[in-house]
Structure 1
Amino acid sequence: MENLCLRLSNIDRVGLVQDISNILAAYNINIVSMEVQPNTIYLEIEQLSGQRKDVLLDNFKKVSQIVNVQEILYMPHQQTVQQLQAVLTTASDGIIAINYQQQITQYNPAAEKIVHLPYEKVIGQLFSAVFNSAGFPLLDTLKDGLAFDNREVFLHQTKGHYLTSARPIKDSAGRINGAVAILKDIGDVRKLVDSFTGHRKNEFHDILYQSKAMQKVVETIKAIATGTSTVFIRGETGTGKELVARAIHATAPQAQKMFVPINCAAIPEALLESELFGYERGAFTGAEKNGKPGLFEFADGGTLFLDEVGELPLTLQAKLLRVLQERRVRRIGSSEEIPVDVRIIAATNQELEKMVADGRFRADLYYRLNVIPLFIPALRERREDIPLLTRNFFQRFSIRLHKTVSTISETAMTKLVHYDWPGNIRELENVIERAVNLVMGAVILAEHISFDYDFKFATDSQQSQLATLSYGTTITKAVAQVEYDILVQAMRQYHTSRTMGRALGLSHTTVIKKMHKYGLKFPQFDS
């Protein structure tokens, strides 16, 4: 049975603690722990039966200068330990702590993943017995009390290089009684630099564009970022909705606080509620001993990004709506409401309006989320950005894959520009990574570009055969053929000159003129 925890609000006076101790002694009740703070005394005692507890509480209330007696779930030190454990568990960087005897006392899941050693084989062991301490200078911090930042270390366990920072742990008297280190994969150097220099200076550096369509999106982001209103990002899969959400957060007043993303479609329904709202200890079978705060609490003061929000079950939609309205969360198994100050950015690739009409999404939640709608254009609607994105991708993958790719042929680029990209930027990234893997030299050719969907296009070798023809005639015919093919493909997909015009970046009158030029009519493509 859990112990009974009490908070006694009081007006400080001499002898108050003694009076409380005398009452407990009179009822033969042992004190498990006591914490004394200005105007508040916290007690942890053995659990009492209903009548016995009521009598004890009444006696406390009769003590001079005690203002209020309240039953609480945790002692302050327990809550601190719980919060620390939650931070260690959810941190993306490895965290390793040692005590003054050089024993490992903290070893979080991220460290377990980096080092590839299970928790059971590390915790309690001597640091030097687990790590090559000559190359991992945490013991120097323990000995000398000197902190260090971003020192590169090599771990024999993984044959990999990492960045580590360390700090001494001191008691209230300033004596060193431990040390703690953060371990980061060196592949995350760019993110680390962003955190040091301040991402606010380059809020949009990851959004690559030159199209008017994306220019409008960026201008909207700049206009809305400084507020706190809910933003609803709409767009197809792979258009970069999370990238846009991060840009909004980076330019907002909450930029120095947490950005917490969650994919509502990636977490089983049975776990989604506890992830979002947290739970108290004993809330359900398998729950952590001390409970767990939810993502709303972690994002307090910052931004919570709800990706694929259309996948939320109706029961959770109702609970989310209440949180958005009242700005308070209630953990599973608790009656206490916790105030949260969180900016919500939601995203979906679904037609929520149809889901509302079908009863699969709450209309009231839809309107609560749709305060500032932001539509991200599909890649086929911003083809001018494909060359810029392509160069960024092949430069990045060339470095990562130790290749010497420096350019892409005109034919290969034309092939990319003319493809419809159902998977949008994510698909383009995959296609370029595949091409960089296949290329042997410095130039990506059309032969290296392959798609997940059927798409016929002349290869570089086929294109080179055109060079033997009359140059002027070849260019004229080639341009006409490409223009004809694009029009035919657009007619099959969009069915009207106006939607074709929006997709191709042309006025609908220009589209009609070009169709007339090639003798094209819509009924030809009804099938």
Structure 2
Amino acid sequence: MIKKPYIKRSHERCIEMGVDFERIYSTKILKSDQLQRKLEENRELIVIATPIMEQLYDFVKGSGFFAILTDGEGCILNLIGDQDVLEVAYKLEMIPGAYMDEEHIGTNAMGTALAEGVPVQVSEEEHFITAYHRWTCSGAPIRNNHGKIIGTLDLTGYSHLVHSHTLGMVVAAVNAIEEMFKNNEVNRKLVVAKRSIETIVDSIKAGIFTVGPKGYIKTINKTASEMLGYPQEEIIGMKINNILEGWAGIEKTVAQNITYLEEESFVNTPKGKIHCTLSCYPIIDKLGETQGIVCIIKEIKKMRRLANRMIGKQAVYTFDNIVGRSNHFVNIVNYAKSIADSPSTVLIMGESGTGKEVFAQSIHNYSSRKDEAFVALNCGALPRNLIESELFGYDEGAFTGAKRGGHFGKFELADGGTLFLDEIGEMPLDMQTRLLRVLEEGTLYRIGGTKEIEVDVRIIAATNKDLKREVELGNFRKDLYYRLNVLPLKLLPLRERKDDIPLLIDYFMIAKALKLGKTPCSLSKEMINKMVDYHWPGNVRELENKIEHIINTNNCYIWNTGESNSYEEKEKITIVEDKLEEVERRHIERVVKKYKGIITITAEALGIGRNTLYRKIKKYNIECSEREQ
């Protein structure tokens, strides 16, 4: 009679699964490559458990027992035991790769421990299949640090050796394995934390180092080491007063728990003095005593250079400036947003006037690089001999006419930000080779320079050409094409998004009127329909220019929109003048209604602040529930 409830439940499961009680071997056994993959997947479990299995086996060595380790699916990973009993087990195909879960071999300590989630002991006829009636098995599930079962440990011997203490030994061994996992996790976290801190400190562009109570440098980051001109291993242990001028006074100030902030100082290096700013922060122990000082130095020359890079090098367009509501176009915008924060290269393709730079700037402003520089270079607008110096810069004396002090290239100016290469298909082949090298290695040499310069630049390229065709024609490098085409973005011509034309007309009408200080116009329905039907070879840019022409002249001519698309047949359309405030009121009213009175979203859609929107609503007496989100 079966007395143990988990044995009864297990047998019921075996009957329900149709397990044959006369079965001898597991119905699932992994071989060769499959087994190797399984062992590799469970490498950490095997490495941790094997020494503990060996200790467990030492307690029962010579008594006819063997220890078995399985993974969380019941697949045997390792066996350790007496040779004679292992030979019997091998004849029953109890080998690495054999699945010991209930579905494949019926009730047994390993499979039932997995199914029940608790330690179990299965002896003699408690096994579902007859071939295992000779065994007594004690098994317990192994859990990881999150409580998930990742394996089992089992001790199996002949049935007459059954003893309750055997299960206790297995449970103790499993506890030891789980503790090892915890220790490993703690050690991993400590290592990761240490490396993270080191990486963070080393990645900071400012120089950071610590000075102990006796005035010796204790730690230093890579930037500070390079700035001071000494290898990290050499500078640690050096006296700070030999390097930093005026240290005695600084130390006295910081000793009073006064932070020393952004003061000008000079640092002595093997190559001469460096003019820098210095900030010092005391390290205070629990007793309030100063145990060291954290110092941050920044080279003033580099700070000025960074400020110069930022001036006039910012993207102005955002996705809020992109107007369109057709499904295909909205999908394109959403895709552009989804790839914005990736460091991978973007290739924007589309006809002239489709807004390639608007998308490029919007992607930049939607990314984590939005506060860094956005630098644009039109590869088709520069003479061949200037592209190289514009991209990579040059050192002083590199060629006749070179500026004194050299010249920053676009890559350096865009360091940390985004470089937009417009009309990339016009770039000469030799420049394509240099560009590819920079993209792959993240470093460059200026013209006439010998110093390797590291750059962190996200590339967005654009073209109105079929680059794949240009590759076939030999005009564009194949390897550069694939390096650029990591995240392709194909923009629609305006003729393929006609539903957006009325929306664009409204948008440009208000935007241009505000910009030019003119009165916006209301176009007749007939004129709007003709503008929708027109094929717009210049795309959005042509439409924008047309609206600007209308506002400036207070009239426009609509050409024949038939197959000839001739400009010769023109029809003057009367423009209905409207006051600017009335147009603004109607526009705000439409947007408020569209976004159901949610102030934050409405203000964002209009491109104005919340307070400004409140004033406009009050001024024009617009009905609004003034909802928040």
Q: TM-score with structure 1 length normalisation?
A: 0.51
Structure 1 CA distance for aligned equivalents of residues 558 and 380 of structure 2: 36
Identity %: 43
1:289 paired residue number: 404
Residue 262 in structure 1 maps to residue 377 in structure 2: yes
2:422–2:463 CA contact under 8 A, matched in 1: yes
Cα separation, partners in 2 of 1:450 and 1:287, compared to 1, 3 Å? farther
Cα separation, partners in 2 of 1:398 and 1:388, compared to 1, 3 Å? same
1:421–1:427 CA contact under 8 A, matched in 2: yes
Which residue among 311, 316, 323 is the counterpart of 1:91? 311
Residue 43 in structure 1 maps to residue 272 in structure 2: yes
Residue 351 in structure 1 maps to residue 466 in structure 2: yes
Structure 2 CA distance for aligned equivalents of residues 283 and 381 of structure 1: 49
1:328 paired residue number: 443
Structure 2 CA distance for aligned equivalents of residues 254 and 86 of structure 1: 15
Residue 225 in structure 1 maps to residue 332 in structure 2: no
Residue 375 in structure 1 maps to residue 490 in structure 2: yes
2:425 paired residue number: 310
Cα separation, partners in 2 of 1:42 and 1:450, compared to 1, 3 Å? farther
Structure 2 CA distance for aligned equivalents of residues 417 and 304 of structure 1: 35
1:276–1:296 CA contact under 8 A, matched in 2: yes
**CA shift at 1:310, angstroms?**
0.6
Residue 398 in structure 1 maps to residue 627 in structure 2: no
Cα separation, partners in 2 of 1:371 and 1:459, compared to 1, 3 Å? same
3-state DSSP class of the match of 1:253?
Answer: coil
3-state DSSP class of the match of 1:260?
Answer: strand
Structure 1 CA distance for aligned equivalents of residues 573 and 422 of structure 2: 43
Cα separation, partners in 2 of 1:384 and 1:15, compared to 1, 3 Å? closer
**CA shift at 1:458, angstroms?**
7.7
3-state DSSP class of the match of 1:293?
Answer: coil
Cα separation, partners in 2 of 1:276 and 1:90, compared to 1, 3 Å? farther
> What RMSD over aligned residues (CA atoms) do the two structures have, in Å?
3.6
2:536 paired residue number: 421
2:327 paired residue number: 212
1:454 paired residue number: 566
**CA shift at 1:398, angstroms?**
2.4
Structure 2 CA distance for aligned equivalents of residues 14 and 303 of structure 1: 39
Unmatched tracts of structure 2, length 5 or more? 1-227, 244-264, 274-296, 575-629
Structure of greater Rg: 2
3-state DSSP class of the match of 1:305?
Answer: strand
**CA shift at 1:238, angstroms?**
0.4
Greater RCO (CA < 8 Å, at least 6 residues apart): 1
1:431–1:450 CA contact under 8 A, matched in 2: no
3-state DSSP class of the match of 1:292?
Answer: coil
Which digits, 9 at most, give the CA deviation of each residue in 1:210-236, with x for residues without a partner? Answer: 112211111211221121111100000
Which digits, 9 at most, give the CA deviation of each residue in 1:45-97, with x for residues without a partner? Answer: xxxxxxxxxxxxxxxxxxxxxxxxxxxxxxx99x954874685488339xxxx
**CA shift at 1:434, angstroms?**
1.3
3-state DSSP class of the match of 2:430?
Answer: helix
1:394–1:436 CA contact under 8 A, matched in 2: yes
1:337 paired residue number: 452
**CA shift at 1:437, angstroms?**
1.9
Give the counterpart letter for 2:270 in structure 1: I
Structure 2 CA distance for aligned equivalents of residues 85 and 358 of structure 1: 42
Cα separation, partners in 2 of 1:14 and 1:298, compared to 1, 3 Å? closer
**CA shift at 1:290, angstroms?**
0.7
Give the counterpart letter for 1:247 in structure 2: S
Cα separation, partners in 2 of 1:398 and 1:370, compared to 1, 3 Å? same
Cα separation, partners in 2 of 1:401 and 1:336, compared to 1, 3 Å? closer
Which digits, 9 at most, give the CA deviation of each residue in 1:121-178, with x for residues without a partner? Answer: xxxxxxxxxxxxxxxxxxxxxxxxxxxxxxxxxxxxxxxxxxxxxxxxxxxxxxxxxx
Give the counterpart letter for 1:278 in structure 2: G
2:336–2:363 CA contact under 8 A, matched in 1: yes
Give the counterpart letter for 2:504 in structure 1: L
Counting only pairs closer than 5 Å after superposition, residues 125-274 of structure 1 correspond to structure 2 as: 203-274=318-389
3-state DSSP class of the match of 2:271?
Answer: strand
Cα separation, partners in 2 of 1:263 and 1:83, compared to 1, 3 Å? farther
**CA shift at 1:402, angstroms?**
3.7
Number of equivalences: 299
1:277–1:296 CA contact under 8 A, matched in 2: yes
Structure 2 CA distance for aligned equivalents of residues 244 and 90 of structure 1: 21
Which residue among 404, 428, 433 is the counterpart of 2:548? 433
